[in-house]
A and B are shown apart, each in its own frame.
Chain A
Amino acid sequence: MLHDRFQSASAFMASNKKLSLPTATKLALYADYKLATEGLCTQSRPSLIEFEKSAKWKAWKETGDRYTQELAQSSSSDDDDNAQISLTTKAMIAYIQRVEEGNWGWSFNPSASGSAAIENHLMNSAGNFSSTGDEDLDELEAYLGVDPNEVSAEELLARPYVPNKDQIEGATMTAAGISTMAPVEDEITGDDVFETSKSGSTEAMRAALDANPDLVSVKDDMGMTMLHWVCDRGNVDKATLLIAKYHADVNVQDVDGSTPLHYAYLLGWPQVIAYLRSVPSIDLTIKDSSGMTAEECQG
């Protein structure tokens, strides 16, 4: 089937020489055609003066090398859909795809190609139609067997995967059984001046502080400063910015007596811990209300 489609597409291109295609497209088609019909390029490099010849040679050679590499890669990688296909198959599929995507007027008509194999296939499928009388089988046949485009399973598998959007709606994550925590409703209580320390980019936080430099020492109802929040979330860039540029107090304590370093230790953020400890004014002896130093909070 693939072969018939390839024959038809290349015959179409051969009879439509007048199409004015960009050189790159022509070369790509040439390379795929050669690879599909003759395999890898074994000819020696033409002289550089023969521009056209050497451009063609280069396309054939390089595309072949690339495909060979890709086939080797896909056989060793996760996605082994392409593992078992040959270089010729890959080239034919690529050629057909180019012709399809070019929209130059080619479409495949299996009955017109007159190939005995296809006739046979139609016969067989027709046989199945009547013998099963089964809608699902008929439909499956229609998709995979006598589809007007005759796309074979092998070819479908070798094409890059494009998620089918309709499908995603039907097959949600729960179809596959992976449930995650349902989102919690955030009760939004007015403006949150600390927002930029809790989430978002370092730049956004810088902008908020430049607009209002006093923010750096503001405490929320839990006694937390922006530096506390940043250390809770584990963002070392923001911590550095708060201390180095806006002179945040590194030893500030919240209502539970916790310093930013207590947070960093409790959550185990190694980079934040290392940075805070490198700040000269850091006091490692501060205890929180349960009597623990930051280091003792280490989870």
Chain B
Amino acid sequence: MSGSGSNSNNNKKTPNAALSAQRFEQELANAPPDLQDKLRALLQSMALNGPPGAAAGSSGKEPKSMDEHKFWKTQPVVKHDEVVEEDGAIEADIPLNQVRATPYPLPKEFEWSLVDVEDDKEIKELYELLTQNYVEDDDAMFRFDYSADFLKWALLPPGWKKAWHIGVRVASNKKLVAFISGIPQDVRVYSSVKRMVEINFLCVHKKLRSKRLAPVLIKEVTRRTHLEGIFQAVYTAGVVLPKPMATCRYFHRSLNPKKLVETGFSHLARNMTMARLVKLYKLSAQTSTPGLRPMEEKDVATVSKLMNKYMSTFEIAPHFGEADVRHWLIPRAGVVWAYVVEDPETKEITDFFSFYSLPSTVINNPTHSTLNAAYSFYYAVKTDDEALEKIENTEERKAARDEAIKGRLTALMEDALIMARKNDFDVYNALNLMDNALFTEDLKFGPGDGYLHYYLYNWRCRKVDSHKVGLVML
């Protein structure tokens, strides 16, 4: 997308320019969390001491200071310069009778309107809003192309609430111009398990941007979650807000390198032939893991166990009940794919992996109209726990675990790539969360230009390393 294009152009034009703060923030993601805070503090003091405007001048992408966050500074979120020592809620739960009972007022030309995601007409309005407005610039190269089935999957999980599918319409012509959604999810952060709401699909019509509609949407969804007795939320964004609790980087594995080059998704180095690229990314025609098959209803109980056990190794992770596993992981045509490994002898389910589909429209390309992207979703691999328990030294035990997981996971993910290729995907995307860093290099994933920041609302916690993040948000 042009965001990335303009980034690289800027870099080329001023190769020696000081590291922009945005870039700094991204590089920081690779540093250990405690060091990150120190470096950030250093950056701020430099910005304060430098000539006025010097830091902000280069690209305007510098994270705003806390005081400039007119909205976020009023909210229960961790401040940019705050170093968290102890985890916990930032403000106390609000008794139901003190929660504002009526929706926040909107200017009279607008009205709140819950979107009925089960209704074909309304879901079409929603995906039109999202596909046409989810990116800002007109010369973007790609644009998300959500399907109605994808949105139903994303917005109607167990426990979903219509009150959390919040739209704003123009009063006069009823046009849908803004949206925000929440879905309930049990999330564990370090050792606390909380019922939270996952906020997603925040979108304001392009022509109504920068008018402070987003804060009103955020406040309204907050009010509505308070009414349900939930006081914590988790959300992700590509932009830097106060304050990321984790930052992950995107990695991409080419499945159809020729198309990726032709659409501008990836770049062909000058001395690289397309022929070599095609050979480099060629996958075998068949998967290699014996007993690999699509997940079915009968696997739900075992997969739930595998998943929750594997998730216990991360510092932020969802807790899935069987209903959640059934909803999120049983394959749905065109939306989500999941495979289990059934031991051919014992018939035991030992591992599983999954990915979902989120295509993008390729804008203004003579040969291609859609880029089919698969996104890595949840997985779990079997480890020989008895053997691992016997290793006394913690460091050694961790190394042995990683070693065991690395081999197994790399083989499984190679099969995931093969299945994705068979299903006509052009690229397989993964963040560097969970144990993904163990296989990305061997399986020829390349780093992306996108980063994803994780945020918690009304929960303060120590920074989490990307490989300790176990929560995947759509």
Residues of A with Cβ closer than 8 Å to B? 78-81, 83-85, 121, 124-125, 128, 131-132, 134-137, 139-141, 143-145, 152-154, 156-157, 159, 161, 163-164, 166-184, 186, 188-189, 192, 195, 198-199, 222, 224, 228-229, 232-234, 258, 263, 266-268, 299
- Assuming the A-B contacts A181-B446, A181-B449, are A172 and B239 also in contact, with contact meaning beta carbons closer than 8 angstroms in the complex? yes
Q: Which residue of A lies closest to B450 (CB)?
A: A179
- Assuming the A-B contacts A168-B137, A170-B239, A173-B140, are A184 and B267 also in contact, with contact meaning beta carbons closer than 8 angstroms in the complex? yes
| B3, B59, B177, B210: residue with the most chain A Cβ atoms closer than 10 Å | B3
B270-278, B331-339, B381-389, B462-470: which lies at the A interface? B270-278
Contact, CB under 8 Å: A178 / B1: yes
Q: Which residue of B lies closest to A175 (CB)?
A: B238
Interface string of B1-35 (1 = CB under 8 A from A): 11110111000000000000000000000000000
- Quote the shortest CB–CB distance from B26 to chain A (angstroms): 9
Contact, CB under 8 Å: A84 / B174: yes
Contacts of A268 in B (CB 8 A): 258
Contacts of B110 in A (CB 8 A): 144, 153
B260 CB within 8 Å of chain A: yes
Identify 18 residue pairs between A and B in the complex whose beta-carbon atoms are under 8 Å apart, listed by A's number: A81-B175, A81-B205, A136-B216, A159-B207, A164-B210, A168-B2, A168-B137, A172-B7, A174-B3, A176-B134, A177-B450, A178-B1, A183-B8, A183-B267, A228-B273, A229-B273, A232-B273, A299-B278
Q: Which residue of B lies closest to A222 (CB)?
A: B273
Q: Which residue of B lies closest to A234 (CB)?
A: B274
- Assuming the A-B contacts A124-B108, A182-B446, A233-B274, are A144 and B211 also in contact, with contact meaning beta carbons closer than 8 angstroms in the complex? yes
Cβ < 8 Å to A, chain B residues 110-150? 110, 128, 132, 134-138, 140-144
The CA of A254 and the CA of B24, in the complex, are separated in Å by 44
- Quote the shortest CB–CB distance from B200 to chain A (angstroms): 10
The CA of A233 and the CA of B170, in the complex, are separated in Å by 49
Contact, CB under 8 Å: B451 / A174: yes
Contacts of B141 in A (CB 8 A): 180
The CA of A144 and the CA of B205, in the complex, are separated in Å by 14
Contact, CB under 8 Å: B275 / A263: yes
Contact, CB under 8 Å: A173 / B269: no
Question: Chain B: how many interface residues by the 8 Å CB criterion?
Answer: 79
Contact, CB under 8 Å: A267 / B238: no
Contacts of B170 in A (CB 8 A): 153-154, 157
3 closest A-B pairs by CB = A179-B450, A174-B238, A173-B3
| Partner of A169 from B60, B143, B209 at Cβ < 8 Å | B60
The CA of A6 and the CA of B128, in the complex, are separated in Å by 31
Contact, CB under 8 Å: A267 / B275: yes
Contact, CB under 8 Å: B210 / A153: no
Contact, CB under 8 Å: B274 / A267: yes
Contact, CB under 8 Å: A168 / B212: no
Q: Which residue of B lies closest to A174 (CB)?
A: B238
Contact, CB under 8 Å: A181 / B278: no
Contact, CB under 8 Å: B105 / A137: yes
The CA of A19 and the CA of B238, in the complex, are separated in Å by 51
| Partner of A182 from B6, B144, B447 at Cβ < 8 Å | B447
B452 CB within 8 Å of chain A: yes
- Quote the shortest CB–CB distance from A72 to chain B (angstroms): 16
Contacts of B160 in A (CB 8 A): none
Q: Which residue of A lies closest to B251 (CB)?
A: A179
Contacts of A141 in B (CB 8 A): 107
The CA of A29 and the CA of B451, in the complex, are separated in Å by 50
- Assuming the A-B contacts A180-B450, A266-B275, are A154 and B107 also in contact, with contact meaning beta carbons closer than 8 angstroms in the complex? no
- Quote the shortest CB–CB distance from A35 to chain B (angstroms): 19
- Quote the shortest CB–CB distance from A127 to chain B (angstroms): 9
The CA of A258 and the CA of B279, in the complex, are separated in Å by 14
Contact, CB under 8 Å: A80 / B275: no
Contact, CB under 8 Å: B1 / A180: yes
The CA of A176 and the CA of B143, in the complex, are separated in Å by 9
Further contacts, 8 of them, CB under 8 A, given A174-B449, A181-B448: A80-B128, A131-B105, A141-B107, A153-B109, A163-B136, A174-B238, A174-B239, A199-B270
Contact, CB under 8 Å: A171 / B136: yes
B237 CB within 8 Å of chain A: yes
| B74, B107, B172, B210: residue with the most chain A Cβ atoms closer than 10 Å | B107
Contact, CB under 8 Å: A140 / B213: yes
- Quote the shortest CB–CB distance from A288 to chain B (angstroms): 11
- Assuming the A-B contacts A161-B138, A180-B450, A183-B267, are A143 and B177 also in contact, with contact meaning beta carbons closer than 8 angstroms in the complex? no
- Quote the shortest CB–CB distance from B14 to chain A (angstroms): 15
B308 CB within 8 Å of chain A: no
| Partner of A136 from B128, B219, B238 at Cβ < 8 Å | B219
Contacts of A170 in B (CB 8 A): 60-61, 239
B153 CB within 8 Å of chain A: no
B401 CB within 8 Å of chain A: no
The CA of A216 and the CA of B260, in the complex, are separated in Å by 29
Contacts of A179 in B (CB 8 A): 4, 250, 252, 429, 448-451
Contacts of B3 in A (CB 8 A): 168, 172-175
Contact, CB under 8 Å: B447 / A198: no
Contact, CB under 8 Å: B278 / A267: yes
The CA of A37 and the CA of B102, in the complex, are separated in Å by 40
- Assuming the A-B contacts A78-B132, A136-B216, A180-B142, are A224 and B273 also in contact, with contact meaning beta carbons closer than 8 angstroms in the complex? yes
The CA of A121 and the CA of B109, in the complex, are separated in Å by 11
B422 CB within 8 Å of chain A: no
The CA of A132 and the CA of B212, in the complex, are separated in Å by 15
Contacts of A124 in B (CB 8 A): 108
The CA of A214 and the CA of B93, in the complex, are separated in Å by 80
Contact, CB under 8 Å: A152 / B109: yes
Contacts of B265 in A (CB 8 A): 180-181
Contacts of A144 in B (CB 8 A): 107, 109-110, 208, 211
The CA of A181 and the CA of B136, in the complex, are separated in Å by 20
The CA of A85 and the CA of B138, in the complex, are separated in Å by 23
Contact, CB under 8 Å: B273 / A157: no
| Partner of B211 from A143, A171, A176, A184 at Cβ < 8 Å | A143
| Partner of B70 from A136, A161, A228 at Cβ < 8 Å | A136
- Assuming the A-B contacts A180-B265, A181-B448, A232-B273, are A140 and B107 also in contact, with contact meaning beta carbons closer than 8 angstroms in the complex? yes
Contact, CB under 8 Å: A184 / B144: no
